[in-house]
Amino acid sequence: QVQLVESGGGWVQAGGSLRLSCAASGRTFSRYAMGWFRRAPGKEREFVAAISRSVGITYYADSVKGRFTISRDTAKNTVYLQMNSLKPEDTAVYYCAAGETSIYSNSRGYAYWGQGTQVTVSS
């Protein structure tokens, strides 16, 4: 079992930055790919970013490419999502996920999910 706890969400004006953190329990953090997904009001959950379990290859949705950066600190069992140049359309609940998957943008590949953290970007 892996438990994930997100933090770092909040309110920010357009153009601002936030850094989300996801702390994972357990000693098997390094065996999982880690992903960030989000769900905006009235919309389906969508892929944001992911990082592979071994060499740390990163993947991004086109909508956030160049603005968001995902990283992982294995020593701290934590994955981060640095979000810069935020836009109102980035407003959503952001979820951290862990899974033994190589299809990083597909939420079905992730077995473990955090409770989510709200990000609100005002114009």
Angle at the Cα of 86 from the Cα atoms of 41 and 88, rounded to 5 degrees: 35
**Residue 114: what pLDDT?**
97
Query: For 6-20, b where at least 16 C-beta lie within 10 A, e where not — what string?
Result: bebbeebeeeeebeb
Q: What would the pLDDT profile of 47-80 be if each residue is shown by its tens digit?
A: 999 999 878 899 999 999 999 999 999 899 999 9
Q: How far apart are CA 35 and CA 25, in angstroms?
A: 16
Residue 104, pLDDT > 80, answer yes
Beta-strand runs (E) in 41-108:
46-51, 58-60, 68-73, 78-83, 92-99
